[in-house]
């Protein structure tokens, strides 16, 4: 075809991920795998890479691991933001997984 690249640009994937993260309401958290699944492109690792590149422009603290544990970066900073948003934390230091299941 005339279009040199029929595939979506890599930046488009980034935009999709940022859109999903930005769509996460306060008091809610989404796992990397869940975001990757919603985007339907690549895997959870690329979601982390997008956060590493543009995470500063999105509520990355609402993005947690599949276990409900906060982001590995900014040690403790993520938990502080989540608590401020009203996220229910469990005594084990992870977010309430029940909230993750509820859409």
Q: Which residues pair with 89 in a beta bridge?
A: 95
The answer to whether 67 contacts DNA (rule: CB under 7 A) is yes
| Beta carbon nearer to DNA, 23 or 100 | 100
Q: Which of 17, 21, 28, 32 binds DNA (CB under 7 A)?
A: 32
| Beta carbon nearer to DNA, 24 or 55 | 55
The answer to whether 46 contacts DNA (rule: CB under 7 A) is yes
- Is residue 63 within 8 A of residue 30, CB to CB? The reply is yes
| Beta carbon nearer to DNA, 10 or 27 | 10
In whole angstroms, what is the distance from residue 15 CA to residue 71 CA? 20
Say which residue the tokens 């469990």 belong to: 90
- Is residue 87 within 8 A of residue 29, CB to CB? The reply is yes
Q: Which two tokens stand for residue 54?
A: 């543009």
Listed ranges 17-25, 39-47, 82-90, 94-102: which one lies at the site for DNA (CB under 7 A):
39-47
């Amino acid at each position: 075809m005339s279009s040199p690249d029929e595939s979506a640009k890599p930046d488009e994937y980034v935009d999709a991920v940022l859109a999903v993260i930005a769509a996460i309401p306060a008091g809610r958290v989404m796992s990397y795998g869940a975001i990757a699944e919603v985007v339907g492109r690549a895997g959870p690792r690329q979601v982390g890479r997008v956060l590493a590149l543009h995470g500063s422009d999105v509520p990355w603290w609402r993005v947690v691991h599949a276990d409900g544990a906060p982001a590995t970066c900014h040690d403790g900073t993520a938990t502080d933001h989540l608590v401020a948003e009203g996220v229910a934390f469990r005594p084990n230091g992870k977010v309430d997984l029940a909230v993750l299941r509820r859409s």
